[in-house]
Amino acid sequence: MSEDWGIVTLPTSGDPEKVAIGRLKAASDMALKYYGTPLVVTTSGGKDSSVCVELALRGGIPFEVQHNHTTADAPETVRFVRQEFARLENLGVKCTINYPAYKGKRTSMWSLIPQKLMPPTRLMRYCCSVLKEQGGNGRFITTGVRWAESSRRKRDRGVFEAFTRNKDKRLILKGENQKPSEVFESCKIAAKRVVNPIVDWPDKQVWSFLQDAKVPVNPLYECGVSRVGCIGCPLARKSKRYDEFRRWPAYEKLYIQAFDRMLDERRKRGKMDGNWMMGGTGQDVFRWWMEEDVLPGQISVDDILEN
Ligand code: SF4
C-alpha cells in the first residue's frame, strides 16, 4: 500500500525496508524543500545508526552523516566512527564530527561537571543537550530512535517530528494517519525536524537487516555490549554502569577527578552549605552518583528526582 503525501509517494505498509526508505525519501525531499540542504543522518556509532546509513545509501538520496563526539563514548566507538567515516567518504558521502562547545568554548564531560557544579543525573541530564544534541540545528535530521528501546520512546517519539524550544509547540507524527507535509507546512517556527525511519523496527529486525547487509557494526556488540553510548550514563541501569567501569576503569577515574574539581569549584564559590558534601571527596560523590551509600548530610539521587 502507498499514499501520496504531497511531496512523495510514501509506502505505508509492506516490506519494512521499503517503508523505511520511503520515509527517508520523504524527509530528503522536505529537507531540500524547506532547508535547501541535504538530509543529515546522525550516527552515534550504534547499530541503529548503521541501519539508517545503509538505508540512506540504498535509497539513493543525497545525504550527509554527522556524529556528535560526546567525549564519554568508549574508545572502540570513537575508532569505529572514524573507520565508518573513512568508508563513507570513499563512497562520496560528506561526514562531519561535531565537537561539543559550552559558552562558546570547546568542552567535554570532564570539564562540564565542574562548570555545572553537579554530576549529571537522570533528572538533570544537562550533558545530553551540550554533548549530544547540539549538531543538526537548522537541518532536517535522521535518527535511529526506535519504540522498542523504551516505553518512554514508545510514548513520546514518532516517525516525523518537529522540535522547538517551546515543548508545547513540538509536533510529533506517530503513524501514517497524518501527512508529514501538512505537519511541516504548518510549522513555520524555527524547528529541528527529525525523521526516525526505523522507529517501529524490533531488535530482531535490526540485527537480521545488518546480517543480510553485511555492513560493518560497532565491535562492542561482539563483546556482549547490548547498547553503546556514554560510559557511566546515569540513565542506564546500575549493573550496566558498573560493568562499564570494570571494562573501562580509566573513565571511572575521569569522573572521580571531575567530581573533585566540581567540589573545589563549589568550595571556591561558597556553595558547600546545606546537603552538598561538606568536606567530601570526588570518590564520595562517585559513590553517591552510583547510588551507593548516602553519607550523613547528603541527599540521595531519589531525593533529587522527587523534588
Ligand atoms: S551520559 Fe547519558 S545523559 Fe549524559 S550525554 Fe551521555 S547519553 Fe546523555
Instruction: For ligand 1, pick from 230, 241, 244 the residue to mutate: most ligand atoms within 8 Å of CB.
Output: 230
pLDDT at 183: 60
pLDDT at 187: 57
pLDDT at 8: 46
pLDDT at 174: 78
Nearest residue to 9 via CA among 172, 190, 258, 176: 176
Provide the whole-model pTM. 0.86
Instruction: For ligand 1, pick from 127, 153, 231 the residue to mutate: most ligand atoms within 8 Å of CB.
Output: 127
Ranges of the chain with pLDDT below 70: 1-13, 169, 176-191, 273-279, 293-307
| Closest C-alpha to ligand 1, atom 2 | 233
Instruction: For ligand 1, pick from 70, 122, 130, 290 the residue to mutate: most ligand atoms within 8 Å of CB.
Output: 70
pLDDT at 11: 56
Q: Look at the domain 2-223 and name its fold.
A: Rossmann fold (3.40.50)
Determine the atom of ligand 1 nearest the C-alpha atom of 234.
2
pLDDT at 163: 78
State the Cα–Cα distance between residues 194 and 267, nearest whole angstrom: 42
Measured CA distances, 95 to 35, 74, 86, 98, 217 (Å): 19, 20, 9, 10, 17
State the Cα–Cα distance between residues 127 and 182, nearest whole angstrom: 34
Q: How close is the Cα of 233 to the center of ligand 1, in Å?
A: 5
| Closest C-alpha to ligand 1, atom 8 | 128
pLDDT at 6: 45
DSSP lists the bridge partners of residue 160 as 173, 195
Q: How close is the Cα of 242 to the center of ligand 1, in Å?
A: 16
Is residue 16 a contact partner of residue 50, using CB atoms and an 8 Å limit?
Answer: no
Find the residues whose C-beta lies inside 6 A of ligand 1.
70, 72, 120, 125, 127-128, 131-132, 229-230, 233, 235
- Start-end of CATH 3.40.50.620 domains in the chain: 2-223
pLDDT at 7: 46
State the Cα–Cα distance between residues 197 and 11, nearest whole angstrom: 12
Residue 165: exposure state from Cβ atoms within 10 A (0-12, 13-18, ≥19): exposed
Q: How close is the Cα of 230 to the center of ligand 1, in Å?
A: 6
Is residue 255 a contact partner of residue 241, using CB atoms and an 8 Å limit?
Answer: no
| Closest C-alpha to ligand 1, atom 6 | 230
pLDDT at 4: 45
